């Protein structure tokens, strides 16, 4: 009986291994994680390969809610550490896929956003309130993202003290060796994401966002 129970435990651990990724480790202040390299299930995110130019094995498309958005849905978890103290900027390589009647509507505000929040010992790296960075907050992409891959640009939220509508970049003051978890949840249907980049302020943006950059080690 004891041997049988141990076998069941071993089997459960083996089956569970595929759903649990190790922590990513930034190198020289640069962290790159592919969308598919998350911990846990993927919920209403589909693995896809039909949008050309993606990195890694695939890109992810959110299939829940509506094209205008909705409540946080289907958390994806990305666990990581950084190797340098300091200010870090976050971007998600994204694409808003417009089809059918979407072209007749406000293209800039359809299929173009997700929710993000971070867990760990950190501070805000700019004027974004810490509680906004710790809570599910809308992050959107615009520009040419309906035709090609682009980068998420701004958080969109109401300031918790003034109640005024605000836009600001997701910027964090992180500690070397501290464990962090980034949560990305679906907001608008047909929002696609390819990879997540978190870079120290000393690294040039074009260098960090270069598609040829390899995914960080785990």
Q: Note whether 93 and 195 are within 8 A (CB).
A: yes
3-class DSSP assignment, residue 143: coil
Share of the chain above pLDDT 90, in %: 83
Contacting residues for 168 by C-beta, under 8 A, at least 6 apart: 126, 127, 128, 154, 155
pLDDT band at 153 (very low <50, low <70, confident <90, very high): confident
Tell me the C-alpha distance between 142 and 160, whole Å.
25
Helix count and strand count (H, E) for the chain: 3, 15
Q: How many residues does the chain have?
A: 218
pTM of the model as a whole: 0.90
Distance between CA atoms of residues 102 and 1, nearest Å: 61
Residue 122 has pLDDT above 90, yes or no: yes
pLDDT one-digit tens code per residue, 135-148: 999 999 988 899 99
What confidence category does residue 20 fall into, taking pLDDT thresholds of 50, 70 and 90? low
Residue-wise pLDDT for 87-116, tens only, equals 999 999 999 999 877 767 777 789 999 999
pLDDT band of 194, cuts 50, 70, 90: very high
What band does 7 get if pLDDT is binned at 50, 70 and 90?
very low
Give the pLDDT score at 102.
76
């Amino acid at each position: 009986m004891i041997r049988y129970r141990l076998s069941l435990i071993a089997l459960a651990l083996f089956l569970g291994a595929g759903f649990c990724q190790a922590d990513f480790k930034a190198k020289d202040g640069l962290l790159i994680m592919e969308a598919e390299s998350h911990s846990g299930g993927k919920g209403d995110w589909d693995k896809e390969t039909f949008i050309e130019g993606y990195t890694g094995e695939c890109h992810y498309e959110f299939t829940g809610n509506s094209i205008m958005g909705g409540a946080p849905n289907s958390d994806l978890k990305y666990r990581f550490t950084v190797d340098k103290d300091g200010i870090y900027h976050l971007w998600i390589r994204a694409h808003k896929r417009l089809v059918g009647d979407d072209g007749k509507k406000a293209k800039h505000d359809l299929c173009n956003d997700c929710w993000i929040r971070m867990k760990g010992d950190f501070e805000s790296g700019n004027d974004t309130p810490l509680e906004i960075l710790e809570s599910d907050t809308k992050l959107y992409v615009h520009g040419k993202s309906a035709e090609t891959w682009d980068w998420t640009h701004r958080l969109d939220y109401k300031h918790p003290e003034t109640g005024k509508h605000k836009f600001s970049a997701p910027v964090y003051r992180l500690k070397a060796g501290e464990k962090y978890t980034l949560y990305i949840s679906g907001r608008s249907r047909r929002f696609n994401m390819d990879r997540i980049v978190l870079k120290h302020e000393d690294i040039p943006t074009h260098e960090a966002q270069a598609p040829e950059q390899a995914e960080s080690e785990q």
